[in-house]
Amino acid sequence: MNNMDLLVSLSKRRGFVFQSSEIYGGTGSCWDYGPLGVELKNNIKRVWWRDFVQARADMVGIDASILMHPTVWKASGHLDHFTDPMVDCRECKHRFRADHLDALAWVHYCPATKGNKFTIPAGEPCGHCGQRRTLCPNCGKGELTPPRQFNLMFKTFMGPVEEEAALTYLRPETAQAMFVNFDNVLQSMRLKLPFGIAQAGRSFRNEITPGNFIFRTREFEQMEIEYFVNPNDRVEGRPADEYWHDRWIEDCLAWFRRYGLREENLRLREHERDELAHYAKRTVDIEYNFPIGWSELMGIANRTDFDLKQHAKWSGKSLTYFDEDRKEHVVPYVVEPAAGVDRALLAFMADAYREEEVRGEKRVLLRLHPELAPVKVAVLPLLKKRDDIVRAAQAVRADLAKHWRVVYDDTAAIGRLYRRQDEVGTPYCVTVDVQTVGDGERGETGDGRVTIRERDSMEQIRVLVAELAGVFRELLAGAAWPSVAGRYPPARG
Ligand code: GAP
């Protein structure tokens, strides 16, 4: 199994991601987040919002509707330019993005070997006859149609009548709501440049070739920021838009590293002139080494004043900022860090996935950052037949669950319970045992201590139940395990 298959299988088995409408055979490239997936996804969005909106004095957020006025998409250029070139195979009817054809391995019936079938690596000629691909890469027989431009926006109708006048679109990006609300936000919040507007929400694209699990889907979530700067300002001797563009690239890279993506799996890719979007002066992608290879995790574009000018032109409303110092109205430039929630989730899972050998047995674990982990603490009774142990364990769960996502599990022996929690990335397990509660029949009182086991080191310490919440508050706020564990006695065994 390759790494993507391992993740798909783990996701289904442990309740992270299921295929949408699976009992009906599934819906093309749509996925449902299960009980653990929704926790992980919410945690990603929560820390993103906390770090980039709540913690910064120069950021505010919005939550706009998905259906917008159709003219928004005319003004933004999406109606005219948000297209991909599509080709179809005349034989097998397979559909491809014309610009992705050379990146596909191709099926070839080689005339130099009596028509034997080969699958040839992407971009390479046949080693026997030297031919390059001209036919369908999927069936190796069909001619491909000439490329046709295909608009990726989903159409829908507002109101009960399906007619042209009621036509509108599901938004293909969250960004446009920040531009059309620019003046509302500026005036209501009395902001000064530079400032940013953030939004996390659903976007829809009728992708020609979706796939690779949740990497490219037709319905996905984005976390986008539009950071407005005064183009006449200079910061550290550079035009403000260029300075802030680089700052945002650094900040976003640092954010992914902070939550666990390893340095060697991250890189920057500068867009070539001819691939820049119609609105962009410069775009840099943060790429991640996904199980499918290096691919875009997020993009950070300098969109100049394109969007505000376009919306001012099409709406007839002024979308400017009054520069008090220079006593002039300016149209701000905008730097746009645009990330995909689903892609971030895939990257965090892929980077966290490890297989280790422990005492001759395979241990699968997700080394998720504690802030991202779907479950923070699992409370496990050592003996489920002892009522007093079970009661104590359930009381611990209920107490900790006031603050964090905490689960109780007594459905297997302790070794298996630990392995189950490792596999879903739970950073800490708490075990309640005979020592904790004592043995009433023998007149022994317990020591009131439970065992905390840390996922990565598998080290165990004994902590008083009364101190548990305080210890987890420290650990889950980022304290290093050794600095906390050093204060407590190790657990025996
Ligand atoms: N407003 C700019 C914008 O939308 P983009 O590069 O098209 O830029 C930003 O999208 C991010 O959204 C991507 O880097 C990716 O993480 C995510 N994304 C885009 N299309 C996606 C799709 N079909 N499935 C999943 N994520 C997608």
* E strand segments, 135-185: 148-151, 155-157, 167-169
* Token representation of residue 369: 């950052």
For ligand 1, atom 4, the nearest C-alpha belongs to: 173
Q: Give the whole-angstrom CA distance, residue 152 versus residue 364.
A: 39
Q: Give the whole-angstrom CA distance, residue 353 versus residue 367.
A: 6
**DSSP structure class, residue 78:** H
Q: Give the whole-angstrom CA distance, residue 335 versus residue 327.
A: 24
Helix, strand, or coil here: 180?
helix
Q: How far is CA 287 from CA 44, 218, 265, 273, 462, in A?
A: 18, 20, 8, 18, 42
For ligand 1, atom 20, the nearest C-alpha belongs to: 216
Atom of ligand 1 nearest to the CA of 301: 2
* E strand segments, 34-94: 59-61, 83-88
Q: Are 150 and 208 in contact (CB under 8 A)?
A: yes
**Both ends of the chain: CA-CA distance in Å?**
35
What's the pLDDT at 165? 79
222 lines ligand 1 (CB under 6 A): yes
Enumerate residue ranges in the chain where pLDDT < 70. 1, 493
418 lines ligand 1 (CB under 6 A): no
What's the pLDDT at 162? 79
Is the overall model pTM greater than 0.95, yes or no? no
Q: How many CA atoms lie less than 13 Å away from 134 in the CB half-sphere?
A: 3
Q: Are 458 and 490 in contact (CB under 8 A)?
A: no
Distance 228 CA to ligand 1 centre (A): 20
Residue matched to tokens 């009131």: 448
224 lines ligand 1 (CB under 6 A): yes
Distance 458 CA to ligand 1 centre (A): 38
Nearest to 152 by CA among 93, 222, 219, 64: 219
Distance 2 CA to ligand 1 centre (A): 25
298 lines ligand 1 (CB under 6 A): yes
* E strand segments, 162-236: 167-169, 195-204, 219-229, 234-235
The residues, any chain, with a CB within 8 Å of residue 359's CB and separated by 6 or more, are: none
Q: Give the whole-angstrom CA distance, residue 468 versus residue 449.
A: 9
